[in-house]
Every structure is written in structure tokens, then in C-alpha cells.
């Protein structure tokens, strides 16, 4: 059945022209299960169902130590300061949200007793509130009970402007009301069509009030728990060396029966994707490695011995080039890439358009990313209803030359183009990874044929993705002209994902570079579309707004989408793990186990 037909039936139910029972019967006849059909109706057409994972242990422990390689290492362990993916993943060992997303984009309860819906009274018909019932009997690692007070406090912590939390946008427009010790109501200032944001997924991890309340506002960065977390999760911290090693032991009081299977966990950081793949797939020194940005032929040779296997996990990750709309080479009061400046080359749209033509996406997809990547012109690629059909891409060096000629960028000494005393000489950085450095080389070669000089820079992942405001080489500082990395969409809805282009989200010295707009692009039309989409309850109209937003950032060449990526994970043979790219791959680490 087509999506528009489903939307029409949902509309009939809302108008009273069809009963809920008849709707479910129609969906079952179309091939859906009754529970999924019911949740589609409850959530305005989006399927939210509890994830199923075939694992029913009879006791906790006995699995020994599981060893993970995260070659992009964590720098700190406070979930609300975790700007980069490396921190976001590691933190899931210790902290948990009310619910999170499985591999198929379904919502699954974690610290919630059940998922809110229209049918159970948890979701308001007008989209202005959601009521969560909390799981009982949950304790923090120090034995203190987990209650609604922790949820209320977490929202206050994250929304406080002085805290400078990267999750501030999730909580600043939400009033979290304590109904009783195990019930909270989220009251939204405006109708909120996609409500699973606060307390859900990567941005929803909950902090212990009794420990963090002594570190309000700006003092939050000094809290000892930032390096030694106390959570509700399946593992308890033993040792943390930022940028290197995390070791933890099983939580003996974990709130899920007979879990975790492993007695301890070690997460080693540093190195690169190739060495990580070798340590899991070839030598068997480690059990698991995430994000193996390694060419197919190398991975195939490593798996030939049978020690491990590669698993590809689909999602909405987009490898892309970002263009800096500010001047990274001019210092303004101790800050480069200041919003008070303008990029001397990229203020000319012709330069940006030429760059987009100089990226051979087909070659990058086929010869560098292989089966883990697909060339794309879109920044939003999934779910399908949000993917634009208005965009296209081409690789054409001659056309790029013509655009630059027409715009008055003339070739000078060494064939490098210049205009009004400004040379087309750019610095292009990315985190260290074999596929990325090869991609950089492909782009550089084409640019040189068009008269654009390009210096390539590779930054160690632990530095590039660091949340350290004193580190000038992080992606959020963006102290160069172009940078490339993967931006993950952490939920099957682009609302939060597209906040990285909002004028209100510009990363700057004043906010410790914690906000999400690192290109520093500002556009009133985009801001207005984002604001409208945030309150649009009609799913079809809302999807059209996100398509317009996608077309704006692509058409204005704010970013150059390259590869719509699957994530490759390396796993020792026999390891079973429910993985997801919609959240942290460790979202259900309590269920990881080896076959008996």
C-alpha cells in the first residue's frame, strides 16, 4: 500500500469516517502486523514498535571480558557535552535514555515502562504533550533510586544556557512536569509532530540529579562525573584515560534481568580503521570494532581466515564536504571563523558551484567506498518520504572551468586562479582514515585542473571529534576552508538533523563551539522552513518542508553530499549484538553475547 493511501486512511479515522479497528484490519490485509498498524495510527503514520532481539538468557555474567576497538576515541563522558560521535557511543556503556531506536528505526523502551501512544493516553491528540511512565526498581550505580526528579533535572541542566550543552535545543522549549516519582509529562510550547526527542536516543541520556545538582551552569564542565560517570547502564566505570582506554565491570544491580552477559568491557581508542579491522577480523585480539572505513578488498582479505565477519548496518549517515562561510584565516578577538567575517572565496556562489562539479562521486563510491557507500546529491536520504527528487549531481571539470572563467576568476602564477587579489588556494581537512585521504586526493586532482590550489590536511580522529573548546583542530572550530566527515542522523526523522544549518545553532567561541552549525551559513528562508516544520502536524506537508530545506543546502552549496553510507562493523565470529545507526551502536550492549 502506498504511503499516501495510508495517510488518507489515517485522516478518515481522525475525521470519524473509519473506526480504529477497521484501519488495523486494512493494514493487516496489506501485510502489516496488528501491533505495527496500531502504532502507526497512534503516531500519525510513523511505526513505533518494540524491537525484538532473540536473546533470553537465564543468568547474568559468565562471558568474561569483551574488548572493543573504537579507533575514534572518547574524550569525556558527559552525554550532554558529547558533540562528537566518539563520545556519544562510549557514554552508552553507563547512561541510558527512556527509549532508543533499533536498526529498523523502531522505538524501544529502556528506562520507560512503556512507550507513550494515543491509545494508552500517553500522546496528546493535538501534539502538545507526551506522558512517560518510568520503569520502577532502577538504581544509579551508587545505589540511589532513579526517579522522575532525575528527568526533570536533566532537562533543566541541558536547557540552561550557561551549561553550554550541545543538547540545549532538545530541551529548551519543553516543560518537564513531575506527575509522581515514576511519571513525567512533557509539555510542548507548540504542537510537536515528532515528539521522541527529549529523553530519547543519543540526546536523551539521563543524568543523576543527586550528583550533578552541585555543578550548575558553567560549573558543569568541572563535575568529576564527566570523567567518572555514575549512570543506570549495564556497566560501571573502573578506569578512563581520555583519548585512550575505558574499562568497566558489569553492573550487579542492572534493571534488566539476567544481563549483561559479559563480566567486564574494555574500549580501546586510537589507531586507525585498518588496524582496528585487522585486530578483530584477522588476529582476533579484539571482539568488535565500529566504523571500519576500509576498502572492500582489504576487508575481504582479512575475513578470509574466518576469525571474524563484517556486518553492514543501514541508516542515514552522509559523508559530505562542508564549506566554511566565514574566514578561517582572520582572527577576531581570539576566534577564527568568526561569524563577523565572510569567506573571501565562498562568498562567490560561482566558486561553490564549481567545487560541486569537481567532485567525482561515482568514482569515490565505486573505487573507494564499494558496497558500503552510494553516491548521492541529497543531504537527507532516508526515510524515503524526506528524500528529494529535485536534485542531481555531475562531474564536469570543463563546466567548472567555464563557471570560474565567467565569474572573473583568472589564472595567475602557477595556473592558480585569483580575483580582486584573492587566490583560489584552499585548505581541505578530514579525520584520518584511508578512504577519506583517498577521497581528498581525488578532489584535489580535479580542483587543480580547474585552477584551484588545495592543501590537504588529516587530523587524528581523537582530536578532530574532540569536544575540547581549547583544541583548534576540531570540526566545530572549522579553522580551514573545507572539511569532510560523516554526519549521522540519529533518529528516523530529519528535524534535529537539519538543525545543523540553523542560524541560531552557529558554533562559536561564546558557546564553547558546542552548537551544531559549523559551516556558519545563515539563511532566513531555511530558518523559517525549519520553524514551520517543527510544528506541522500534517506528515505530508512536513515532509515537503524538509525536502525544501535539503534543496536549499544543496542548491546553495553549503555542503556537497558525497556518499550515503552504511556503517561497517567488524565482529568476532559468534558475537551477537543488536546494532543501530539511529543511535549509539552500544544502545543495547546489555544484550551482547557469544553463542553458547
Task: Give the domain ranges of the chain.
Answer: 3-42, 315-565
Percent of the chain predicted with pLDDT > 70: 91
Q: How far apart are CA 130 and CA 575, in angstroms?
A: 37
Which neighbouring-strand residues pair with 575? 594
Per the CB < 8 A criterion, the answer to whether 235 and 248 are in contact is: yes
**Topology (CATH level 3) of domain 315-565:** Dipeptide-binding Protein; domain 3 (3.10.105)
User: Is the separation of the CB atoms in 185 and 116 below 8 Å?
Assistant: no
DSSP state of 550: H
DSSP 1-15: --HHHHHHHHHHHHH
Q: What pTM, to 2 d.p., does this model score?
A: 0.76
Distance CA 438, CA 66 (A): 33
pLDDT digits (tens, 9 = 90+) for 557-588: 999 999 998 989 999 999 999 999 999 999 99
pLDDT by position in tens, the chain (length 596) = 544 566 567 666 655 556 655 665 566 455 444 434 544 554 444 333 334 457 889 999 999 999 999 988 999 999 999 988 889 999 999 999 999 999 888 899 999 999 999 889 999 989 999 999 999 999 999 999 999 999 999 999 999 999 999 999 899 999 999 999 999 999 999 999 999 999 999 999 999 999 999 999 999 999 999 999 999 999 999 999 999 999 999 999 999 999 999 999 999 998 888 999 999 999 999 999 998 988 889 999 999 988 999 999 988 899 999 999 999 999 999 999 999 999 999 999 999 999 999 999 999 999 999 988 899 999 999 988 999 999 999 999 999 999 999 999 999 999 999 999 999 999 999 999 889 999 999 999 999 999 999 999 999 988 998 888 999 999 999 999 999 999 989 888 999 899 999 999 999 999 999 899 999 999 999 999 999 999 998 889 999 999 999 999 999 999 999 999 898 999 999 999 999 999 999 999 999 999 86
Distance between CA atoms of residues 242 and 227, nearest Å: 8
* Interatomic CA distance for residues 198 and 155, integer angstroms: 8
Cell numbers found for residue 28? 493487516
Dihedral of alpha carbons 497, 498, 503, 509, sign? positive
Average pLDDT, the chain: 91
The CA distance from 328 to 481, in Å, is 7
Which residue has cell 574466518? Answer: 306
Separation between Cα atoms, residue 411 and residue 448, nearest integer Å? 11
Dump pLDDT digits (tens) for 67-85.
999 988 999 999 999 988 8
- DSSP string of 38-55, one letter each residue: HHHHHTTT----------
* Cα–Cα distance measured from residue 113 to residue 50, given in angstroms and rounded to the nearest whole number: 12
Instruction: Give me the residue label for grid cell 584515560.
Output: 241
φ/ψ of 292, rounded to 5, equals -85, 85
Amino acid at each position: 500500500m502506498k504511503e499516501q493511501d495510508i495517510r488518507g486512511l489515517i485522516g478518515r479515522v481522525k475525521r470519524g469516517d473509519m473506526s480504529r479497528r477497521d484501519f488495523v484490519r486494512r493494514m493487516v490485509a496489506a501485510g502489516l502486523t496488528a501491533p505495527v498498524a496500531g502504532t502507526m495510527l497512534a503516531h500519525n503514520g510513523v511505526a513505533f514498535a518494540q524491537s525484538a532481539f532473540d536473546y533470553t538468557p537465564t543468568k547474568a555474567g559468565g562471558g568474561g571480558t569483551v574488548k572493543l576497538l573504537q579507533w575514534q576515541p572518547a574524550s569525556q563522558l558527559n552525554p550532554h557535552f558529547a558533540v562528537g560521535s566518539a563520545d556519544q557511543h562510549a557514554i552508552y556503556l553507563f547512561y541510558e535514555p527512556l527509549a532508543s531506536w533499533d536498526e529498523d528505526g523502531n522505538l524501544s523502551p529502556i528506562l520507560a515502562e512503556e512507550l507513550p501512544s494515543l491509545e494508552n493516553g500517553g500522546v496528546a491528540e493535538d501534539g502538545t504533550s507526551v506522558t512517560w511512565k518510568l520503569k520502577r526498581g532502577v538504581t544509579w550505580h551508587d545505589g540511589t533510586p532513579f526517579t522522575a526528579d532525575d528527568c526533570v533535572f536533566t532537562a533543566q541542566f541541558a536547557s540552561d544556557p550557561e551549561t553550554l550543552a550541545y543538547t540545549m535545543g532538545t530541551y529548551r522549549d519543553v516543560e518537564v512536569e513531575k506527575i509522581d516519582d515514576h511519571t513525567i509529562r512533557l509539555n510542548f510550547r507548540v504542537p510537536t509532530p515528532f515528539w521522541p526527542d527529549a529523553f530519547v536516543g543519543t540526546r536523551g541520556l539521563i543524568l543523576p540529579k543527586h550528583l550533578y545538582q552541585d555543578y550548575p551552569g558553567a560549573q558543569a564542565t568541572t563535575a568529576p562525573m564527566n570523567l567518572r560517570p555514575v549512570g543506570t547502564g549495564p556497566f560501571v566505570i573502573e578506569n578512563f584515560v581520555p583519548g585512550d582506554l575505558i574499562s568497566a565491570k558489569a553492573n550487579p544491580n542492572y534493571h534488566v534481568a539476567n544481563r549483561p552477559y559479559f563480566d567486564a568491557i574494555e574500549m580501546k581508542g586510537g589507531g586507525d580503521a585498518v588496524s582496528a579491522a585487522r585486530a578483530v577480523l584477522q588476529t582476533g585480539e579484539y571482539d568488535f570494532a565500529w566504523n571500519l572505513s576500509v576498502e572492500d578488498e582489504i576487508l575481504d582479505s582479512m575475513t578470509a581466515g574466518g576469525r571474524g565477519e563484517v556486518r553492514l548496518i543501514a541508516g542515514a549517515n552522509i559523508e559530505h564536504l562542508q564549506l566554511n562561510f566565514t574566514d578561517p584565516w582572520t582572527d577576531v578577538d581570539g576566534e577564527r571563523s568568526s561569524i563577523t567575517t565572510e569567506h573571501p572565496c565562498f562568498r562567490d556562489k560561482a566558486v561553490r558551484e564549481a567545487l560541486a562539479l569537481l567532485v567525482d562521486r561515482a568514482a569515490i563510491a565505486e573505487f573507494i567506498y564499494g558496497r558500503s557507500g552510494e553516491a548521492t546529491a541529497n543531504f537527507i536520504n532516508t526515510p524515503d518520504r524526506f528524500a528529494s527528487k529535485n536534485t542531481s549531481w555531475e562531474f564536469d571539470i570543463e563546466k567548472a572551468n567555464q563557471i570560474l572563467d565567467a565569474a572573473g576568476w583568472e589564472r595567475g602564477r602557477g595556473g592558480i586562479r585569483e580575483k580582486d587579489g584573492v587566490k583560489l588556494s584552499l585548505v581541505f581537512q578530514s579525520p584520518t582514515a584511508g578512504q577519506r585521504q583517498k577521497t581528498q586526493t581525488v578532489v584535489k586532482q580535479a580542483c587543480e585542473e580547474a585552477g584551484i590550489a588545495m592543501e590537504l590536511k588529516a587530523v587524528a580522529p581523537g582530536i578532530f571529534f574532540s569536544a575540547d573548546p581549547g583544541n583548534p583542530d576540531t570540526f566545530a572550530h572549522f579553522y580551514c576552508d573545507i572539511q569532510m566527515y560523516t554526519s549521522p542522523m540519529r533518529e528516523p526523522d530529519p528535524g534535529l538533523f537539519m538543525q545543523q544549518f540553523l542560524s541560531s545553532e552557529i558554533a562559536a567561541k561564546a558557546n564553547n563551539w558546542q552548537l551544531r552549525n559549523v559551516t556558519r551559513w545563515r539563511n532566513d528562508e531555511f530558518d523559517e522552513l525549519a520553524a514551520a516544520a517543527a510544528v506541522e502536524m500534517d506528515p505530508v506537508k512536513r515532509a515537503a518542508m524538509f525536502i525544501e530545506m535539503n534543496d536549499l543546502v544543496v542548491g546553495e552549496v553549503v555542503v556537497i553530499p558525497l556518499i550515503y553510507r552504511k556503517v561497517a562493523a567488524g565482529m568476532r565470529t559468534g558475537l551477537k549484538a543488536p546494532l543501530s545507526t539511529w543511535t549509539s551502536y552500544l544502545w543495547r550492549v546489555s544484550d551482547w553475547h557469544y553463542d553458547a
